[in-house]
Structure 1
Amino acid sequence: MKRSTQTIRIGAVVAASALVLAACGGGSDSDGETASGSTSKGDGVLTIGSLLPQTGSLAFLGPPEFAGVDLAVKDINEAGGVLGKDVVHVRGDSGDTDSGIAPAETDKLLKAKSDVIIGAASSGVSLTVIDKIMSAGAIQFSPANTSTSFDEGDYSKPDLYFRTAPSDILQGAVLANLLIEEGRQNVAILARQDAYGETLATEISKNLEAAGSKIAAKVLYSEKTGPGDSQITEIKNAKADAVVLIAFEETTTVIPKLIQAGTGPQDVATYFVDGNTANYGKGDSASLPDGTLEGTKGTIPGADAGDAFKDRLKTVDPKLKDYSYSAESYDAVIVSALGAIAAKDDSGAAIAKEIPGVTKDGEKCTTFKDCAALLADGKDIDYNGVSGPIELGETGSPTAASIGIYEYDAKNKISPVDYISGTI
């Protein structure tokens, strides 16, 4: 049964300094400048490119993310569009890091004059195209990137990158807090060895150890081949009281291996993360035998978008079954459109300068139509979306967000049991 949203006592899990960032402006350093320093002006038509997974290890996320983009474009155009013209949507397939198709697909989206590219879902894929997108003067706006890499180094300063999903600092804290609340004192972590898996494994480990729990084992496996027998044995020999599996679609092959080793979900309390918290029942794109995951819990960034939003998503995709990151995809498009209206310009650099401002500190509004009307009246706005408060900071990441906690039933279907809010 779903409980009401709560606020996590993150201070009990990690040092407060690691989770408090100033919520200040973002975007480009000067009016009209791209990441490469050149100036540009939009062509008058806001073009949204979507670089989302139609194929690859995160293909299950593609339908809800594409549906979120499609619904946002539909709502915007029905409300009068942006700068007096309809928004145009161009689709691209991000694939995964193994297929390596994202750079070529990005070229296609840029050739189609995309001002904003929504995607990729995978942090690893985004890192292969982020420089290409920003150098072209376009915005990259991911609905699902959670790696801390986008808030560090060269990407820590205001630029053309944004995301509506919170970094793994928050998801790591929430999952660690869940483990602690459920009495897990000796935790094994099995994670894919990529930008996503390594970062999240580190954040979970750091938070658990800060609270006094032990890491029985932290095993990283090849994202291409999955864990080998020796790595499964290492998890088994750790004799942990909980196993955290940080994975993508390979979950359907990893879980049977853990079961065979006597350390599956019915032997040891098991926890998933957003990369693999999906439905695995009969009729889903990937499935496991009934009862395999019963009682397993997982985390997905995002607030409760509600049944009304899910019903509206089905008007653009009647076959939709999963909803992960659909709200974040929707909000990324809406925020971009509002940024263009505020800038009176559809170029990436101009939109980027306005994006943080339309997500905080102004008059609150929750729909594109209402927010656009306020902007037309010269008002400062604070768009609160279906994915949560958003409130983007100087690195382009949310400074306040929610993480949903989900539990599997006997049919390997997930349902939310709690939503935890926090600040970063």
Structure 2
Amino acid sequence: MRFFYRDDVPAPRRSCSRRSVVPGLLLVAALIAVACSSDDDAAPDTTTETTTTTTEPPSEGDGELVIGVLLPTTGPGAQLGQPMIGAVRLAVERINEAGGVLDEPVRLVEVDEGATVSSATTGFETLLDEGVDAIVGPASSLAALGALDVPVSAGVLTCSPTATSLLLDDFPDNGLFFRTAPSDSLQAVAIAQVAEQTGTPSVSIFFIDDAYGRGLTDAIESSVEARTMSVRHRVGVPVGESEIAPYAREVLADEPNVVVVIGDADAGSRMLAALGDESATWTPSLILVNDAVRAARSSQRIVDLPDDVRERIQGVAPLSAPPETENFTGAYSAHAYDCVNLIALAALQAGSDAPGRIATQMSSVSVGGSVCRSFSSCADRIAEGLQLDYNGVSGELNLSTRGDPRRARFEIFTFEEDGSDASNGLVLEVSSI
């Protein structure tokens, strides 16, 4: 998920990379009726440096599980952050009603993530001063890339419900960073699968030429080629370029059947507008867009597209709405809820609130054991000495050894005449090996 500022940052140095090599990716076909929407905000490119981290001596724990919350309550991310915080509070309330963790109630400490790397860094430091054992957040991928070394250096684990950047796949986290939202590497697989279903032998990719755009384009190209298709043409638009028409003409020059457009709400909608302006020359059968372009839902550029161009656009986005059976709402609130349950269950299984010991159990409580779907039912299984497979509110998590979901569901969305977005009711279930 792209969240209020662009991830134009250098790849982290890898003195201590995430756990395990990047897995091969396999798509499991599934079509499920569903409807939901997501809320994303975009902003200009920002550059930050990610430092190599060193970890302080591990905490031994004190018997009380304290969970910090670093999600946005102010700024452009508040619309996303507030519902997630509500879900976190509900998860803790239910955990405490079920007896808490280690026979003690779980305690929450909440801090505003804000809208910058600086504010996220300050938030992390505040939570560490409060003695938290684990942190839910941050929401922004850029905040994670720029500030995650703070909790990692302190030996405290974090679980982000929304930070999906590919650059976080190999972040030097010392085994302390986890995600309940899928990496963009899985979104690349989903995009390639949709392209493959058209029967086309090749695709062209039209992308914003920044760290995010290049990384996702590379991942899509790898996924496309793994399906015996090929990438006919890659055309990158420099950041800040005002004249996109020449790049659009280059993309369309060899009359591709499928064009994949990768960008944020602003750049993505401008690239779509440029394709629309050139549609008299050639219009692809299908134009695929990534999830960040969905934030252009109210853009006049989407409204102004020729009808036959708009109707050919399909977007691929992580399924982010909670099930209707839950009494909370908001995009990715289910993923925040699942972060809390994973942390609490890992602490139970470890028999400790020490951050390092919790981290060693985060993946194991999510895969390969007795399936359970609530904290109380999972806690009962731990008491019986059983291995867990927590299937969360957001779906099956199956965290890999590097802390990312092996499985994720992606919905297909389209744009209406008024520029609004709508799910077309189809969901792809994507898995990594």
Please give the range of the TM-score, normalised by the shorter of the 2 chains: 0.7 to 0.9
Q: Note the alpha carbon deviations across 1:177-233, whole angstroms, 9 max, x for none.
A: 212222553423223613x433211111222345333343331543xxxx4124453
Q: How far did 1:59 drift?
A: 6.0
CA–CA distance in 2 between the matches of 1:289 and 1:361? 45
1:421 match: 430
Q: Contact (CA 8 Å) 1:143, 1:163: kept in 2 or not? A: yes
The answer to whether the 8 Å contact 1:295/1:409 transfers is no
Structure 1 residue corresponding to 2:323, chosen from 295, 306, 317: 306
Q: 1:410 to 1:50 in 2, by over 3 A?
A: farther
Confirm whether residue 234 of structure 1 aligns to residue 253 of structure 2. Answer: no
Cα displacement (A) at 1:331: 1.0
Q: 1:389 to 1:256 in 2, by over 3 A?
A: closer
Map 1:165-180 to 2 at 5 A.
Answer: 165-180=181-196
1:69, 1:330 within 8 Å by CA — same for their partners in 2?
yes
Instruction: Identify the match of residue 95 of structure 1 among 90, 115, 120.
Output: 115
CA spacing shift, 1:304–1:132, aligned 2, 3 Å: closer
- Aligned CA distance change for structure 1 residues 212 and 58 (closer, same or farther; 3 Å): farther
User: 211-220 or 387-396: which moved more?
Assistant: 211-220
- The 1:44–1:153 alpha-carbon spacing in structure 2 relative to 1, beyond 3 Å, is closer
Q: Is the 8 A contact 1:407 1:417 kept in 2?
A: no
Q: Which moved more, 1:134-143 or 1:71-80?
A: 71-80
Match of 1:344 in 2: 351
Mapped contact 1:94–1:125 kept (Cα < 8 A): no
Residues 330-341 of structure 1 correspond to what in structure 2 (within 5 A)? Answer: 330-341=337-348
* Paired AA for residue 236 in structure 2: V
2:101 counterpart residue number? 82
Tell me the distance in 2 between the aligned counterparts of 1:418 and 1:399.
16
> Following the alignment from structure 2 to structure 1, what is the Cα–Cα distance between the partners of residues 82 and 377?
27
Matches within 5 A, 1:45-64: 45-54=64-73, 61-64=80-83
Which secondary structure state, in structure 1, belongs to the residue aligned with residue 356 of structure 2?
helix
C-alpha change, 1:186 and 1:360, in structure 2 (3 Å) is closer
- After superposition, give the CA deviation of every residue in 1:318-342 in whole Å (9 maximum; x if it has no partner): xx5xx2x222222111101111122
For residues 159-191 of structure 1, give each alpha carbon's deviation from its aligned partner in whole angstroms, at most 9, with x where no partner exists: 111112233332211101212222553423223
Aligned residue among 93, 116, 125 for 1:107? 125
Residues 117 and 262 from structure 1, CA distance in 2 versus in 1: closer, same or farther, beyond 3 angstroms? farther
Deviation at 1:107, TM superposition (A): 1.5
What is the one-letter code of the residue matched to 1:419?
L
Relative to structure 1, is the Cα distance of residues 376 and 182 closer, same or farther in structure 2, using a 3 angstrom cutoff?
Answer: same
Q: Distance in 2 between matches of 1:107 and 1:65?
A: 21
Do structure 1's residue 152 and structure 2's residue 152 form an aligned pair? no
Distance (whole Å) between structure 1 residues aligned to residue 208 and residue 84 of structure 2? 24
Greater CA drift, 358-367 or 175-184: 175-184
* 1:406 aligns to 2:420 (yes or no): no
Structure 2 residue runs of 5 or longer lacking an equivalent are 1-21, 27-52
Q: Distance in 2 between matches of 1:48 and 1:213?
A: 46
- In 2, the alpha carbon distance for the partners of 1:63 and 1:221 equals 34
1:360, distance to aligned residue in structure 2 (A): 1.7
Q: Which moved more, 1:411-420 or 1:126-135?
A: 411-420
Contact 2:205 2:262 survives alignment (8 Å): no
Whole-angstrom distance in 2 between the partners of 1:254 and 1:57: 21
Q: Counterparts of 1:250 and 1:56 in 2: how far apart (Å)? A: 19
Residues 105 and 258 (structure 1), Cα distance of their counterparts in 2 relative to 1, 3 Å cut: farther
What pairs with 1:72-221 in structure 2 (closer than 5 Å)?
A: 72-83=91-102, 84-96=104-116, 100-152=118-170, 154-155=172-173, 159-183=175-199, 185-191=202-208, 193-194=210-211, 196-210=212-226, 211-221=228-238
What SS does the corresponding residue of 1:42 show, helix, strand or coil? coil
Tell me the alpha carbon deviations over residues 3-37 of structure 1, each in whole angstroms, 9 at most, x when there is no partner. xxxxxxxxxxxxx97237xxxxxxxxxxxxx9625
SS in 2 for 1:162: strand
State how far apart, in whole Å, the 2-side matches of 1:67 and 1:250 are.
Answer: 30
Deviation at 1:136, TM superposition (A): 1.2
Q: How far apart, in 2, do the equivalents of 1:352 and 1:18 lie?
A: 24
The one-letter code matched in structure 1 to 2:287 is: T
State the distance in 1 between where 2:317 and 2:92 align: 24
8 Å contact kept, 1:374–1:380: yes
One-letter identity of the residue aligned with 2:408: A
* DSSP-derived class of the 2:24 partner: helix
Gap change, CA 1:350 and 1:17, over 3 Å in 2: closer
Indicate the SS of the match to 1:250.
Answer: helix
Identify the structure with bigger relative contact order (alpha carbons < 8 Å, sequence gap 6+).
1
Pairing partner for 1:376 from 367, 376, 383 = 383
User: What's the offset of the Cα at 1:305?
Assistant: 4.5
> May I ask how many residue pairs the two structures share in their alignment?
372
Residues 274 and 301 in structure 1, CA contact (< 8 A), matched pair in contact too: yes
Q: In structure 2, give the amino acid aligned to 1:272.
A: V
- C-alpha distance in 1, partners of 2:401/2:126? 29
Question: In the alignment, what sits opposite 1:353?
Answer: 360
Matched, 1:38 2:57: yes
CA RMSD of aligned residues (A): 3.4
Once structures 1 and 2 are overlaid, which stretch shifts more, 367-376 or 118-127? 118-127
The verdict on how the C-alpha distance between 1:377 and 1:421 changes in structure 2, with shifts beyond 3 A counting, is: same
Gaps (5+ residues) in structure 1?
A: 1-15, 21-33, 315-319
Q: Deviations over 1:18-76 (max 9, x none)?
A: 237xxxxxxxxxxxxx9625131234433322333456776664345334323323332
8 Å contact 1:236–1:263 — kept in the other structure?
Answer: no
Q: Take 1:333 and 1:355, find their aligned partners in 2: how far apart are those partners?
A: 11
Q: For the structure 1 residues 81 and 198, does the alpha-carbon distance in structure 2 shift closer, same or farther, using more than 3 Å as the test?
A: farther
Q: Distance in 2 between matches of 1:403 and 1:111?
A: 38
Q: Tell me the equivalent position of 1:27.
A: none
Corresponding position of 1:254 = 270
Measure the CA separation in 2 of the matches of 1:414 and 1:17: 32
With structure 2 as the length reference, what TM-score do the two structures score? 0.74
Q: CA deviation at 1:133?
A: 0.9
**Structure 1 Cα separation of the partners of residues 209 and 108 of structure 2:** 36
Q: TM-score if structure 1 supplies the norm length?
A: 0.75
Q: How big is the shift at 1:261?
A: 3.9
Q: Give the secondary-structure state (helix, strand or coil) at the position aligned to 2:69.
A: strand
